[in-house]
Amino acid sequence: MNRIFSGIQPTGNLHLGNYLGAIRNWVALQKDFECIFCIVDLHAITQPQDPKLLRAHTREVTAAYIACGIDAETVTIFNQSTVAVHSELAWILGCLTPLGWLNRMTQFKEKAGKQRDNAGLGLYAYPVLMAADILAYKATHVPVGEDQKQHLELARDIAGAFNRRYGIEYFPLPEPQIFGAATRVMSLRDGSKKMSKSDTSDMSRINLTDGPDQIAQKIKRAKTDPHPLPDDVKGLEGRPEAENLLGIYAALTSKSLEEAVREFAGAQFSTFKGALAGLSVEVLGRIGDEMKRLMADPAHVDSILRRGAERAGALAGTYLREVQDIVGFLRP
């Protein structure tokens, strides 16, 4: 049986990268897989969060899932902290994760920065909790953006470590699904930096709740280079901004990067940016409007999360009891 698990942190500023790298692909996959999509609030508190905003952002991410086209009737949508199994399984998996594996994680190194000793244990153990998220449901596939690849490799290693330690093929090794023309959307201000929720410049990203004027303005002011667009993909080498904007265009139109390059071969940036702005406003405007409509009814959003938590909790609970038996915990 094929089952998908994926999630997004409710840390605010949900952006085009989250849409093109993750949610958009989930919408396409939900027809063919049993899907569980989580709002990972336990992961969010690995960095300080304002409690009021954390609640608001949890509803906002839920609204985004639905506004982008996730079907809440067939898909399980819930926030991570409502299913205690995630934390319990993370402990068990943490006991068989060598520190050496965690020390390799580039995201920890980036986020902890030079003040490593001041970074929290939660930030360090973040990838173990992520493995627990996936394995709690014995998920076989995990659709994410490119930046999560290393964490998924670790989740596979941890699943393998559990199976080996207890001599049983219990956990499937989850497969990453990283696809589309925009698996790594870059900042609009700097083509060498990832588009990110935490970038201090709001001009660096297109938020899913931005209005049409903001979207158009951000694309118009996006960094470029002085040359016309190239005739083929090879001509994008050394031109990260051009590559990023064409990748976004390709992903939004469900074309390949090659096709997008062909369409605008030799064009000036101004012409291309006009087309990209129109397209972005059309796609994201619809999503933003629907998000706002959903967020105006928090009781409805909460009812979706409640139902999701029940379904998720029942499934994960069954597996956790099996894991406890395997590990040797007495259940008197």
**Does residue number 154 form part of the binding site for ligand TYM (CB under 6 A)?**
no
**Does residue number 58 form part of the binding site for ligand TYM (CB under 6 A)?**
no
**Does residue number 29 form part of the binding site for ligand TYM (CB under 6 A)?**
no
From 6-14, 210-218, 234-242, 289-297, span contacting ligand TYM (CB under 6 A):
6-14
Active site residues: 111, 194, 197
Q: Which is nearer to ligand TYM, 179 or 329 (CB)?
A: 179
**Does residue number 180 form part of the binding site for ligand TYM (CB under 6 A)?**
no
Q: Which is nearer to ligand TYM, 267 or 319 (CB)?
A: 319
Q: Which of 59, 141, 194, 273 binds ligand TYM (CB under 6 A)?
A: 194
Per CB under 6 A, contacts with ligand TYM among 276-315 are none
Per CB under 6 A, contacts with ligand TYM among 86-145 are 130, 133-134, 142, 144-145
Token reading at 233: 């993909």
**Does residue number 12 form part of the binding site for ligand TYM (CB under 6 A)?**
no
From 114-122, 146-154, 217-225, 287-295, span contacting ligand TYM (CB under 6 A):
146-154
**CB-CB contact of 87 with 316 (8 Å):** no
For ligand TYM, the binding residues (CB under 6 A) are 5-9, 17-18, 21-22, 40, 43, 130, 133-134, 142, 144-145, 147-148, 151, 183-185, 194-195
